[in-house]
Amino acid sequence: IHVTELDVRIPIPASTAELQRQAQDYALVVDACLDEPACEAIVTWGFTDADSWIPSAFPGYGAALLFDESYEPKAAYWAVNDALAGG
């Protein structure tokens, strides 16, 4: 099993609550993969919101990736990091 092209779009501008929910969703995917021996990889659809395809395809949505438009890690990044670290 490979989870590919993962992103979690949210309405923009994103609220703190939406960013936290997004982080939880990313962590759920990582946890599910870690719990399944056949899951070998998770690949996101990019790494920064600055280059995301989401806003052009889904007007009013974006902020779908682990890093914001300034290349700063978002709550989703830290949730994935914690899940991979076993936290």
- pLDDT tens digits, 4-41: 999 999 999 999 999 999 999 999 999 999 999 999 99
- The residue whose two tokens read 């995917």 is 29
User: Virtual CA dihedral for 29, 34, 40, 46, nearest 10 degrees?
Assistant: 40
> 42 pairs with which residues across the strands?
3
Say how far apart CA 17 and CA 9 lie, in whole Å.
13
Residue 87 predicted with pLDDT over 80: no
Q: What's the pLDDT tens digit per position in 67-83?
A: 999 999 999 999 999 99
What is the pTM (predicted TM-score) of this model?
0.94
User: Virtual CA dihedral for 58, 41, 87, 27, nearest 10 degrees?
Assistant: 20
- The residue whose two tokens read 């990019």 is 46
